Amino acid sequence: MASAAAQSEPDQRARPSASDTAGAGQSGVRGSPKSRAMIRLTGVTKIYRMGEIELRALDRIDLSIAEGELVAIMGPSGSGKSTMMNILGCLDIPTDGVYELDGIDVGRRSDNELAAIRNTKIGFVFQSFNLIARTNAQRNVELPLVYAGIHDRAKRARGALEKVGLANRAKHLPNELSGGQQQRVAIARALVTDPAMLLADEPTGNLDTVSSMEIMKLLVELNDSGRTVVLITHEEDIARFAKRIIRLRDGQLVSDEAQEERSGFES
């Protein structure tokens, strides 16, 4: 995942024309205008500068993701996926443009406020699981609650493990669990604060095919229960579990297509 870079001068280039936002809703932002927007990006640009070299990692992205959607964001290496992940996860802020998460203008928040947003609004799921090796599953799930100063941690952690089918593995250490089980613990940890959305960055990248399908079916179940899920992936078979696939190339949004049927279950 790309690290956050220092902010630079705002981009003053002209806004996209009507043809640039083909398929947009009434607001000019791509996505469904009918449901409440969980994520809204308007003219979002991210520029990294290294001396005289300017890298435009994201270029005037207009995008809306409604509450309750399951969306896959795809693109080849260098397309801007990692930068998009950083911005959606409030790990970085745009150089120019506006990012609103659950009605909050993220770009206008301090570092401490961004940390609070990450801990309460976003449940992160990463490729490498990021579990603490010498801590059992339940205690790993409790960690976001510790940071949030919440006291009924054990009960909530057990409830989150139950949601992912691991209530009977609460006392197991990560090395006593399979890769798929470790990722389920990571998903439970992401759920325990009841976030506005799950942001999953290549969640099946370290898993075999069977475990990958199990994790994706779990994410679909969570989405079917009303949870907003944003999936960053380069794998077509994983993206087919989503209801909508957004493709990036060279920092630009090049396609945004709804899927009438999730075909991932055929894999």
In a domain, 178, yes or no: yes
In a domain, 55, yes or no: no
H-helix or E-strand containing 157? Answer: helix 153-163
d(CA 160, CA 193): 9
Q: What is the pLDDT of residue 11?
A: 40
In a domain, 165, yes or no: yes
Q: What is the pLDDT of residue 69?
A: 96
d(CA 126, CA 84): 15
List Cβ neighbours of 151 (8 Å cut-off, separation of 6 or more).
Answer: none
Q: What is the pLDDT of residue 35?
A: 72
Q: Output DSSP code: residue 178.
A: -
Q: In angstroms, how far is the first alpha carbon of the chain from the final one?
A: 27
Q: Let me know: does 30 contact 62? Beta carbons within 8 Å.
A: yes
In a domain, 242, yes or no: yes
- What does the block give as tokens for 247? 């493709």
d(CA 206, CA 147): 27
Q: What is the pLDDT of residue 262?
A: 65
Cβ neighbours around 243 below 10 Å, total:
17
In a domain, 207, yes or no: yes
In a domain, 30, yes or no: no
Number of domains observed in the structure of the chain:
1
Name the residue range of residue 224's domain: 69-95+110-262
In a domain, 229, yes or no: yes
Q: What radius of gyration, in Å, describes the C-alpha atoms of the chain?
A: 18
Tens of pLDDT along the chain (267 residues) come to 444 333 333 343 333 333 333 334 333 444 444 578 999 999 999 999 988 899 999 999 999 999 999 999 999 989 999 999 999 999 999 999 999 999 999 988 899 999 999 988 999 999 999 999 999 999 999 999 998 888 889 999 999 999 999 999 999 999 999 999 999 999 999 999 999 999 999 999 999 999 999 999 999 999 999 999 999 999 999 999 999 999 999 999 999 999 877 666 554
Q: What is the pLDDT of residue 59?
A: 96
In a domain, 105, yes or no: no
Cβ neighbours around 200 below 10 Å, total:
28
Look up the CATH number of the domain holding residue 89: 3.40.50.300
Residue carrying the six token digits 């996505």: 31
